[in-house]
Amino acid sequence: MGITAFTSQANRAYEVAARFRHLGVPVVMGGIHATTCADEVMERVYAVVTGEAEAVWRQVLADVGHGDLQRRYDGGRAELNEVPPARHDLLPTGYFFGAIQTTRGCPLSCSFCSVTAVNGPRYRQRPIADVVREFRLVHERAVLVVDDNLIGTRAEQVARAKELFRAMAEADLRKRWIAQVTINFADDEELM
C-alpha cells in the first residue's frame, strides 16, 4: 500500500499504515513528511520514498512484486517534461475539485516553507501542451492547480504563466480553477 502525507497528516497516515501492516500488507510512504522526516517514518512503515517518486515508483512496484522491497528509495527531483499526466481516469468522481500540477520548485527558500527543501530551488515547468491536455482529463469542472507558485518569480516564468493562461483560454476548457501565487502577481497588470 502506498501512502503520502504532509506533516499535518502524518498521525493519520501512521494509523492507516499500522492497520495495513497488521493485515500483513507492506506499506510504503512518501511525500513531504517522509522526505523531511525519513527516520521517523521508517519506524512506522516498511519502506520510505524520499523526494519525488516518479523516478523510482516503477522500481518500488517491481520490488514489491518480487518480494524484495527495499527500506528506502530516493526519487530525487523529476524533469517535468518526462512526468506523465496523472491518471484522472482512476479517480472516483463526485469531488468538487479536481487537481493538476504544472510546476515544482521555488528559489525563494522562505523560512516557513518546505518547498525549496523538498522540491528544490529550481523552478521547473511542465510543457504547456501537456498541461492543457491533462486539464481536459480532469473530470471536475472546478480545478485546484496545486503548484506552490504558479507564476514563478522571474520575468520569463511570468511570461510562461501568461502563455499557459492564453493556451487554456484558447482550448476553451470550460473549467474554473484556482491557484497559489506570490505577491509579485500584482506587479504585472496584464497578468492580473
pLDDT at 42: 96
pTM here is 0.87
Domain-by-domain residue ranges, the chain?
2-74, 80-187
pLDDT in tens, 146-169: 999 999 999 999 999 999 999 999
What three-state secondary structure class fits 176? strand
What average pLDDT is seen over the chain? 95
pLDDT at 47: 97
pLDDT at 117: 87
Quote the radius of gyration of the chain (alpha carbons, Å): 18
CA distance 99 to 17: 25
Superfamily per CATH, domain 2-74: Cobalamin-binding domain (3.40.50.280)
| Structural contact between residues 10 and 18, judged by C-beta atoms closer than 8 angstroms | no
Q: Residues in the chain with pLDDT < 70?
A: none
| Structural contact between residues 132 and 172, judged by C-beta atoms closer than 8 angstroms | no
CATH number of 80-187: 3.30.750.210
Give the strands of the sheet with 142-145, arranged side by side.
Answer: 97-100, 142-145, 176-179
